[in-house]
Amino acid sequence: MWVLEFSRQTTATKEQIWNHWADVAHWNICDSSVERSELYGDFKVGTKGVFKPVGGPKSTFVITNCKPLETFTNTTYLPLCKVDTIITLTETPNGLLVNHRVEMTGFLTFFFSRVAGKKMAKTFPQAIENLMSNIKKSNK
């Protein structure tokens, strides 16, 4: 298994963060590594979508876990590799903790972690910072 995880505290509300995530077609506003994303239905377990990273191939995903205002997981099946992206919101005494975690498992994890994993490691922190910045701007 290969894991990448990044967390950040914020003063944003759960609703603000959740509304961004549920707006799949606009994930690229905060994440410059996303060329295009689309969801084919409601933001709930079982709904499928597509995700196209900049410079990468389009892949499909399915929402495999969804607890509104708490957590969701989207799962992508690559050749001989499963990628779970797990997003969690946790209330803490210091504000809301936003956590992004990617888990890769399967025979070709070594390959995909080197190809896609390196890009994710570079773009995750900035994508979360951009999200927080956009929320602050929209509150003004």
pLDDT digits (tens, 9 = 90+) for 5-48: 999 898 888 999 999 889 999 888 888 888 999 999 999 999 99
Compute the average pLDDT of residues 39-65: 94
pLDDT at position 37 is 94
How many structural domains comprise the chain?
Answer: 1
Neighbouring C-beta atoms of residue 12, cutoff 10 Å: 22
Lookup result for tokens 């979508």: 49
More confident residue, 124 or 34: 34
d(CA 115, CA 59): 15
pLDDT of 97 higher than 60: yes
pLDDT mean over 108-133: 82
Residue among 21, 100, 126, 105 at smallest CA distance from 63? 21
pLDDT at 101: 93
CATH number of the CATH domain containing 17: 3.30.530.20
Q: What is the mean pLDDT of residues 72-77?
A: 96
Does an H or E element contain 139, and which?
helix 118-139
How far is the C-alpha of 48 from the C-alpha of 42, rounded, in Å?
9
Vertex 107, ends 24 and 71: CA angle to 5°?
A: 30
Q: How confident is the model at residue 116 (pLDDT cuts 50, 70, 90)?
A: confident
Query: What is residue 140's predicted lDDT score, i.e. its pLDDT?
Result: 57
pLDDT, average across residues 76-85: 94
- Expressed as residue numbers, the domain containing 75 is 2-139
